[in-house]
Amino acid sequence: MATSGTYVTEVPLKGSAKNHYKRWRSENHFFPDAIGHHIQGVTVHHGDWDSHGAIKSWNYTSDGKKEVFKEKREFDDEKMAVTFRGLEGDVMEQLKVYDTILQFIPKSEEGCVCKITMMWEKRYEDSPEPINYMKFVKGLAADMDDHILKNENKA
């Protein structure tokens, strides 16, 4: 039986939970312009940008390496949570299961916390644990905060 696990971490953000959730839920097309050093492209294969169950591919750079990730999207609007269920791509060569949940929890009028929960199961016993992907997702959330704040300050 392959090894599995769950990572959980929180990233403090200065932007509002509502605006962060909106960006991650339905505005992924802004990612290449907002955080292009991480995300170079997002393509919708099934559904729309903001539809539950949509399937998207992400072209991104992690640890200096260009990779692709195809995922199925799920939303929980009440909890302001977005789930990415891994379907194909570089990470799925090493993992059988790769589900990442980003939940935006209000802490004040201006700030929030992004709670990241990553559930995974290795495809092979000698596959590395996906700690580098947790670091990558934390970086995405933190770097998107600067973009969210710029937009909030314009409003």
Query: Tens of pLDDT along 15-33?
Result: 999 999 999 999 988 899 9
Q: Is the dihedral of CA 19, 9, 55, 57 positive or negative?
A: positive
Domain boundaries, the chain: 4-153
* Predicted local confidence at residue 109, as pLDDT: 73
* Predicted local confidence at residue 119, as pLDDT: 98
* Predicted local confidence at residue 91, as pLDDT: 95
Structure-token pair, residue 39: 């995300």
pLDDT tens-digit series, residues 125-147: 999 999 999 999 999 999 999 88
| Class of CATH domain 4-153 | alpha beta
Enter the pTM of the model: 0.93
**Comparing C-alpha atoms, which of 118, 107, 49, 113 is closest to residue 83?**
118
Count other C-beta atoms under 10 Å from residue 126's C-beta.
Answer: 9
SS3 130: coil
Query: Which parts of the chain sit beneath pLDDT 70?
Result: 1, 154-155
